[in-house]
Structure 1
Amino acid sequence: MRLGVLDVGSNTVHLLVVDARSGGAPVPATSHSRQLRMAEHLDGGSLSDDGIEALVAMVRDSQQIADRTGCSRLLPFVTSALRDAGNCDEVIERVQAETGVRLEVLSGEDEARWTFLAARRWLGWSAGSLALLDIGGGSLELAAGRDEYPDVALSVAVGAGRMSRRFPAKQVDKMRVHVRAEVGAVVGELLRVGPFERAVGTSKTFRSLARIAGAAPRSEGPYVPRRLTLADVSDWVDRLATMKPEKRADLPGVSEGRSHQILAGAVVAEAAMELAGFDVIDICPWALREGIILNYLDHLDGDAR
């Protein structure tokens, strides 16, 4: 079947269309992404009218693309930026009224859980006890376990976008202190289910950091091994702090739309890896969107039985 997953995140509205079947890996058919930067549309903690109109337009466009490409089902969800907005329920209702699309609000723990499922399926059982780190725009997700679903799933409000808005580059030391305190308050819960045979990082921030540290470009495909060391992350925190956003955008793997937050992403990655004791992590190409699809297929298979 052809499925679409619509990810309304802190930075972008991203539609991924895949051909999928129970027991098989989702095969990407097409994708469509538009910059939203939802946090910039927050007014007093609520999404502004302009922000709502932009979101409605993007969801409508994504629905039309999904229809044109033959999707039999669209799986739409939102993460921290809208989840934390004071008028989240109102926005959800308006989007549904104007587009027919009902956005599902995921908790941070749900994000961690489905992302872990995706990483487990990608790596397989041979990965053993697995720990996962995922840096989004609004939050950091951590998960760990030996099974398909994690024994612990955590979310910390230190996303790359959130931290970049709170701490300018000249306050990188203050950012480091704050992030370490927030991650340090919960990392013990992760470590209690260790030790881990493998640690992985998922999503755009980790992919970008690995790329600027010398990992293979995206053009070489998803099956090329990519790794990121704590030493490289720490080195790039210091280097990024001295660079202007337009110079960061010239780095390999860093888009103009995300250049403003790659420094904060590096600070969060550094804290998470150091406090968890990970000197190196593998980069997994699957993340939350794939996890949502896999979970949907699992439930279809269960219903069929």
Structure 2
Amino acid sequence: MRIGVLDVGSNSAHLKVMDLKVGAPPAPVTTVKRPTRLAEAVDAEGRVAREAMERLVLSVGEAVYAAAEHGVEELVAFATSAVRDAANQREIVDEVAAATGVRLGFLSGRDEARLTFLAARAWYGWSGGRLLLADIGGGSLEIAHGEGQEPALAVSLPLGAGRLTRAHLPGDPPSRKHVRRLRRRVYERLSETSARVLAGLDDERPVRPVATSKTFTQLARLTGAPRRKDGPYTRRVLELERLREQIPVLASKRAAARAKLPGVSRPRAPQILAGAIVAEALMTTLEIDRVDICPWAIREGLIIRRLQAMSDPAAADAETARLTQAVPAVASRGRSPLRAVPVLTA
């Protein structure tokens, strides 16, 4: 079976196409990534601006057209917190459906954490032992830990890099006062959650800290991890001390200058400082010196869940099933009805 997972996030609409066969690992076919830049287009009332909505429609349209071109049999389409939490969520979903035929669904923050944990488990296998997972997105931070395929604890907090940048880091670069206030706010918000997590890990069994998301990946590269072209099987780690050294560097630079640093992409340069602040506070409050960077995240978690259901129908997940739909017929007319938007890197 050929499946496509379309993840509409704060920065991009990202389609991943894989072939699934019982008894074999998912086989990558292609990926398509188009810009949405929703994080920078939310007003004081929480509404996504008209221009960003139009960009989102075009991005989803291009991704859906690519899914049809590659013979995708099932499409799993969902939007993360940038759309889920928008004041005009319904308007956005309806416009995307009318223009592209795709009905975007939503996962709760906890389900995002659960599925991302499943992806990490599949990547590291049982030899990974007990995993402690963190994922910094544009709108939220997910934390989970456990020894099985399902985490013993899964939580989501509104500490995404895009959300915090928009709300707490005005200016380019932001003032030292705003940076200090944000760090204090993040530490305060994480203190109780981290205490809960540590309480659940309070024994002598070893824990493997892992992190997913472009934010963690780019922070790891910024602090010396291997480049992306070295491949997904190259080990990458993010070390706390090296991360701390980079926060004042990021805080002192304008977004355009950050984009010239190793690993920092132009679309994420405005919010990488907030991402670094969250990562540093999380690692500190969880008493972690380093995290391994896992190349799989929520898209792969959904793919693994579908693969499990192919061999064992009892493994089917109702939350995942309601996101699944056929590729719209409008996308199969020989060419895309929408104009192309630029490819977005990282």
What is the TM-score when the length of structure 1 is the normalising length? 0.95
**1:57 Cα deviation (Å)?**
1.9
Aligned to 2:226: 216
SS in 1 for 2:308: helix
Aligned to 1:206: 216
Which amino acid is 2:129 matched to?
A: G
**1:41 Cα deviation (Å)?**
3.0
Asked if the contact 2:39/2:166 (under 8 Å) is kept, the reply is no
What's the CA shift string for 1:246-285, capped at 9, x where partnerless?
Answer: 1111112111111111111110000111111111111111
What's the CA shift string for 1:109-163, capped at 9, x where partnerless?
Answer: 1111100000011011111111001000111110000101111111111111111
Aligned to 2:62: 61
**1:185 Cα deviation (Å)?**
2.7
Aligned to 1:269: 279
Which amino acid is 2:102 matched to?
A: V
For 1:155-166, list aligned pairs within 5 A: 155-166=156-167
Give 1 or 2 for the bigger CA radius of gyration.
2
Q: Separation in 2 of the partners of 1:23 and 1:247?
A: 47
Q: Separation in 2 of the partners of 1:85 and 1:304?
A: 34
Aligned to 2:192: 185
Aligned to 1:20: 20
Aligned to 2:11: 11
**1:286 Cα deviation (Å)?**
0.5
Q: Separation in 1 of the partners of 2:189 and 2:214?
A: 21
Which amino acid is 1:6 matched to?
A: L
Aligned to 2:79: 78
For 1:106-185, list aligned pairs within 5 A: 106-168=107-169, 169-170=174-175, 171-185=178-192
More displaced 10-residue stretch of structure 1: 185-194 or 217-226: 185-194
SS in 2 for 1:51: helix
Query: 2:46 matched to 1:45?
Result: yes
Aligned to 2:89: 88
Which amino acid is 1:35 matched to?
A: P
**1:98 Cα deviation (Å)?**
2.6
Q: Separation in 1 of the partners of 2:23 and 2:297?
A: 18
Asked if the contact 2:40/2:162 (under 8 Å) is kept, the reply is no
Q: Which of 213, 229, 239 lines up with 1:229 in the alignment?
A: 239
**1:102 Cα deviation (Å)?**
1.5
Moved over 3 A (4+): none
Q: Separation in 2 of the partners of 1:192 and 1:116?
A: 19
Q: Which has the higher contact order (CA 8 A, sep 6+)?
A: 2
Which amino acid is 2:128 matched to?
A: A
Aligned to 2:100: 99
More displaced 10-residue stretch of structure 1: 51-60 or 178-187: 51-60
Which amino acid is 1:208 matched to?
A: Q
Q: Separation in 1 of the partners of 2:216 and 2:193?
A: 20
Q: Which of 288, 291, 295 lines up with 1:281 in the alignment?
A: 291
| Identical residues among aligned pairs (%) | 47
Which amino acid is 1:185 matched to?
A: E
After superposition, the CA RMSD in angstroms is 1.6
Query: 2:267 matched to 1:257?
Result: yes
**1:28 Cα deviation (Å)?**
2.0
Aligned residues: 305
**1:304 Cα deviation (Å)?**
8.2
**1:48 Cα deviation (Å)?**
3.2
**1:47 Cα deviation (Å)?**
2.6
Q: Separation in 1 of the partners of 2:122 and 2:226?
A: 22
Q: Separation in 1 of the partners of 2:254 and 2:52?
A: 27
Asked if the contact 1:129/1:194 (under 8 Å) is kept, the reply is no
Which amino acid is 1:282 matched to?
A: D
Query: 2:252 matched to 1:245?
Result: no
Which amino acid is 1:229 matched to?
A: E
- Return closer, same or farther for 1:300/1:104 CA change in 2, 3 Å cut-off: farther
Q: Separation in 2 of the partners of 1:138 and 1:248?
A: 21
- Segments of 5+ residues of structure 1 without an aligned counterpart are none
